[in-house]
Amino acid sequence: MKRRKFFEKSLIGGMALSAFPFLGKSNHHYLPSEFPTRKLGKTGEKLSIIGFGGIMVANTEQSKANSMVARAFEMGINYFDVAPSYGNAEDQLGPALEPYRNKSFLACKTLERDKAGAKKEMEESLKNLKTDYFDLYQLHALTKRDDVEKAFGPDGAMETFLKAKKEGKIRYIGFSAHSQEAALLAMEKFDFDTILFPINFVCWHQGSFGPQVVKKAREKGMGILALKSLAFTRIPEGEKKPYERLWYIPIEDKKTADLSLRFTLSQGVTAAIPPGDHQFWDIALKIAQNYTPPDQKELSELKEISSGIAPLFKA
């Protein structure tokens, strides 16, 4: 078997995902009583280094969503992220999070680029999530320069953001992006508190995607929140998604998953949000509880693993 094919087979199918204490009986004893936290840029907030992606509770029974959130708090997780585009995730997360709202850092997003649309969606999200404020509200999925220009133009979404912050409905303002061009332009336009961005070793090495954005965010003292830390590559055309909530192939090999998440967390990141499938939540927690930055040998190994793999994103 050729070496590259061997890597792909081991990474895509090498891990048996059969035991996930997060969803079974409460087995949170394998985590420390205080989960690792880091400061969020210049905000002064301290977040758990793993965030709870609200998409995990989409289309689940409310009792199950309640249990997932409760156990997250038992484990020391305080950072929760959701968006209206995640199906009915807001409807499920709101009641589950309500008992812990004053102990949590809740981030939400909007895909709307105009003032009226952003206001309407923000108010709906506040209602769905049973809260009167967001700790962090973000322009969601900035992809093109036009997304940024519209948000900052006349009657753009940023007018809603700034007004809401004055009214106490938003504490901090951030954005998420899957484009270096859009991310860099957004950071030029405004002193955002945070950026939510794919920071992934394959994209980093094979797509030159990430280094420039991370450097700029660090220079500005922003809180850096990471996506796609456990992503591997795109699903080949015509093949079925291996996981319902994921549009990409995740890393299933234990060793590579460990190296990949540690790589992401070593890039000045405050917190990483694991893939939206609950099976990877437990994996990320176990890796993060004993986090140490990768050494040079491990970094070289990761770069070698990425060789020849198509990245999810390119610069």
Instruction: Give the domain CATH number at 19.
Output: 3.20.20.100
Q: Does residue 31 belong to any structural domain of this protein?
A: yes
3-class DSSP state of 198: strand
C-alpha to C-alpha distance for 16 and 23, rounded to whole angstroms: 16
* 200 found inside a domain: yes
Range of the domain at 268: 3-306
Of 232, 224, 227, the closest CA to residue 275 belongs to 227
In-domain check, residue 170: yes
Distance CA 172, CA 195 (A): 11
pLDDT digits 0-9 by tens, 110-155: 999 999 999 999 999 999 999 999 999 999 999 999 999 999 999 9
Which residues participate in catalysis according to the annotation? Answer: 86
Range with the poorest average pLDDT among 168-177, 188-197, 258-267, 279-288:
279-288
Domain-embedded: residue 60: yes
- Over residues 263-308, the pLDDT tens digits come to 999 999 999 999 988 889 999 999 999 999 999 999 999 999 999 9
Residue with tokens 């090495």: 205
> Considering the domain boundaries, does residue 311 fall inside one?
no
Nearest to residue 51, comparing CAs of 271, 276, 204?
271
For residue 154, tell me if it sits in a domain. yes
User: What integer is the mean pLDDT of 25-50?
Assistant: 76
Residue at 105 is within a domain: yes
Position 313 in a domain: no
Work out how many domains the chain is built from and give that number.
Answer: 1
